Structure 1
Amino acid sequence: MVHLQKGRYTARLAEGPADVKAAQRLRAFCFGLKVSLDIDSYDSTCTHVLIEDTATGTLVCCYRLLTLCGADLPRCYAAQFYELSALETYEGLMMELGRFCIHPDWRDPDIQRIAWAAMTDLVDAQNVQLLFGCSSFAGTETAAYLDAFAMLRARHLAPPRWLPRVKAPDVFRFAARLRRKPDLKKAMRRMPPLLRTYLMMGGWVSDHAVVDRQMNTLHVFTGLEIGAIPAARKRLLRALV
């Protein structure tokens, strides 16, 4: 059972429908949806992690996790958008990270630190070998993110043996289309915080971005092989557990 505390924040697992509803409400707000709750069929099969202000109980961050093996991949969220047959031969358990969001009024870096520490605890407890998910850029226009996508193409594409193939009807094939040399400072400024953290730990991405007009995002499939995380970074994450 995850129950961690860092500074003024506590990480814990959702304990019932009320907790899941609170996460759905925060997600709808963070994603700018025109509904009060962000609900889908995956919520019932996932483990939900909540990060709260310890003093007030205010929910400031949430995400959900789904543990699966290669044969289970067709039932994960990302499989709606990416053709993942290459990963079906992956040996070891995988865990899908989804709906990660932090309340925009709360900018304390300790929130993301404790969120990743809680995730590390669950990954270690289940001996998960691959963490993956969809990392989102705000909006559906690519122009503002060309340096970020050029950097992903140059440095962070998935190994060919695991590369997701195109499935969604509307995609931006940045690996095939971009030949520009990225401005690294501009690239990192435009890189979503969650994706930036994945990359710092050795993560990799698909060669295309999905244009998701329902969620008003561009997203890339993102994978992180646990064995590839630098030892020093693993120690930092586990020091919080």
Structure 2
Amino acid sequence: MIRNLPEQKAQIFEGHATGNLLGQISTLQVRLAESAGEIEKAQSIRYDVFYREFGAHASPSCQASGLDQDLFDDHCDHLVVLDTEIAGSSEDQIVGTYRLMRKEHAQSAGGYYSAGEFAIASLMTRHKDRNFLELGRSCVLPQYRSKRTIELLWQGIWAYSQRYKIDVMLGCASFFGTVPAAHAEALSFLHHHARTDTSWHIAPVPGRHVSMDLMPEEAINMKKALNSLPPLIKGYLRLGAKFGEGAVIDHEFNTIDVMVVLPIENISGRYKAYYGENAERFAA
């Protein structure tokens, strides 16, 4: 997701940023959704990407509505990217989204989304003094899948994290398809070279564990493995994230899910300096 720093950094407006705005690059803005209509547009984009483009299996209610929605949506913040050059309403301008779930959101929703796949409760109990943020439902329309858009999403997440004093980001990230062997080299790379240490260990819930140890370490072609990682996972890795023990097959979404754990202190200094440049203004 992040290969190099972008040619054009996210720029702030003249004066102090206010409200839900979290960043801007050229005509693209990132902010929190401000209305039910904007959240619905984000859900519509999620449906187009997850179900129409990548073959997730929609329930009858999702098919009827054309929206990817669940019980967590009403309790979360929704990060949206808007292209202000598009004529029309703010809903028409939304081209990407990310769902953000803080501790208070999880408490009101009855838990975190990823707890259905990974045993995150034990991890949070071990780090009960840390403020966690769950990231999920990330998607961008095909024509906007560029370095610039991804950088802007991370600008927004970083400013949001500073605003709410987040200590740890975590969430599921996915490989497409439900056959682990098709991603043997990439999954084995994460298992051997990017696993969480003991203090941050996390594994799938009982009955859902799928091994990521599909190849011996010495058989992995490092360059090939890195190139075959999905962009989102590659981006997390470059920021300093580690990955839990084992994967989970999500038949509904047609994916193999891995758990990302990213303590803020593990984010590389290069990216902290880059994202922190404007974050204080947007985090206010």
TM-score of the alignment, normalized to the shorter chain, above 0.5: yes
TM-score by length of 1: 0.92
Letter in 1 for 2:50: F
Q: Which residue of 2 aligns with 1:101?
A: 139
Of 88, 101, 111 in structure 2, the residue corresponding to residue 75 of structure 1 is 111
Query: In structure 2, what is the Cα distance between the partners aligned to 1:144 and 1:2?
Result: 41
Aligned equivalent of 1:24, options 27, 43, 50: 43
Query: Post-superposition shift, 1:103?
Result: 1.1
Alpha-carbon displacement from aligned partner over 1:94-152 (angstroms, at most 9, x marks no partner): 10001011112323211000100000001011111000000111111122311111110
* Structure 2 contact 172–260 (Cα < 8 Å) conserved: yes
1:97-136 aligned within 5 A: 97-136=135-174
User: When you count strand as a share of all residues, which structure comes out higher?
Assistant: 1
Q: Which amino acid aligns with 2:216?
A: R
Correspondence for 2:78 among 28, 41, 48: 48
Structure 1 runs, 4 residues or longer, greater than 6 Å off: none
Give unpaired runs (5+ residues) of structure 1: none
The aligned counterpart of 2:25 is 6
Partners of 2:247 and 2:256 within 8 A in 1: yes
Paired with 1:93 and 1:174, the residues of 2 have a C-alpha distance of: 28
Q: Is residue 64 of structure 1 aligned with residue 99 of structure 2?
A: yes
Q: Which amino acid aligns with 1:6?
A: I
Deviation of the 1:230 alpha carbon: 1.5
What letter is aligned with 1:195?
I
How many Å apart are 1:14 and its aligned residue? Answer: 0.6
Separation in 2, partners of 1:60, 1:239: 25
CA offset digits 1:64-91 (Å, max 9, x no partner): 101118x959700110111121332212
2:216 maps to: 179
Residue 126 of structure 2 corresponds to 89
Deviation at 1:240, TM superposition (A): 4.9
Give the structure with higher Rg (CA): 2
In 2, Cα distance between equivalents of 1:178 and 1:168: 23
- Tell me which of 194, 215, 219 is aligned to 2:257: 219
Counterpart amino acid of residue 102 in structure 2: T
Give, in whole Å, the separation in 1 of the partners of 2:27 and 2:182: 35
Aligned residues: 239
Match of 1:234 in 2: 272
**CA separation of 1:189/1:168 partners in 2, compared to 1, >3 Å: closer, same or farther?**
farther
Tell me if structure 2 keeps the 8 A contact 1:168–1:210: no
Q: What amino acid sits opposite 2:76 in the alignment? A: C
TM-score, scaled relative to structure 2: 0.79
SS in 2 for 1:239: helix
Secondary structure of the structure 1 residue equivalent to 2:142: coil
Residues 166-197 of structure 1, C-alpha deviations (whole Å, 9 max, x = no match)? 3153432114x532432122212221111111
Instruction: Give, as a single letter, the amino acid of the residue that structure 1 aligns with 2:80.
Output: L
Q: Which has the higher contact order (CA 8 A, sep 6+)?
A: 2
The CA distance in 1 between the partners of 2:110 and 2:234, in whole Å, is 27
SS in 2 for 1:153: helix
Give the alignment's Cα RMSD to 1 decimal: 2.0
Gap regions ≥5 residues in structure 2: 1-18, 87-91, 280-284
